[in-house]
């Protein structure tokens, strides 16, 4: 738990409430059986979907060039208080809904602020998973 977590993160989330995109984050974990294939890779990863709220934005061109961020990547922002039980991670999948259109993203990198109010995720758009 961060020193600023709680009041500041709650106030920030409350200020944006109703203005955010709704969606979900799909996190996959190795099943409790720990089953592996012949190459040692997990079989039948278990998926857990959690409701989230956030927004997507483009990177500034100058920042993108300095940081070496691919042209196809976007910043997926997830408000931590919308799903306090999860911590986003690399390869998690996020869906945001705009009107009736669902857009899916795969997370590449994840960072947060000192108040743990916002998860800032470098991500790229993907086809809807099966």
DSSP codes joined into one string, 92-116:
-EEEEEETTEEEEEEEEEEEE-TTS
pLDDT tier for residue 21 given thresholds of 50, 70 and 90: very high
Residue 35 CA neighbour count, 13 Å, CB half: 6
Range of the domain at 70: 7-126
* CATH number of the domain encompassing residue 13: 2.40.10.270
Q: What average pLDDT does the segment 1-14 reach?
A: 64
In a domain, 88, yes or no: yes
d(CA 60, CA 91): 23
> Token match 């890779």: residue?
41
Q: pLDDT tens-digit profile of 56-115?
A: 999 999 999 999 999 999 999 999 989 999 999 999 999 999 999 999 999 999 999 888
Q: What is the pLDDT of residue 33?
A: 64
d(CA 94, CA 23): 7
State how many domains the chain has. 1
Q: What is the pLDDT of residue 5?
A: 54
């Amino acid at each position: 738990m961060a020193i600023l977590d709680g009041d500041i993160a709650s106030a920030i989330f409350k200020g944006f409430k109703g203005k955010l995109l709704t969606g979900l984050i799909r996190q996959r974990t190795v099943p409790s059986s720990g089953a592996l294939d012949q190459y040692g890779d997990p079989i039948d990863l278990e998926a857990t979907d959690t409701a989230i709220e956030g927004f997507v934005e483009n990177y500034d061109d100058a920042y993108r060039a300095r940081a070496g961020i691919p042209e196809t990547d976007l910043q997926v922002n997830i408000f931590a208080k919308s799903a306090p039980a999860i911590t986003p991670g690399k390869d998690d999948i996020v869906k945001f809904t705009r009107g009736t259109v669902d857009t899916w993203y795969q997370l590449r990198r994840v960072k947060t602020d000192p108040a743990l109010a916002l998860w800032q995720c470098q991500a790229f758009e993907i086809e809807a998973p099966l």
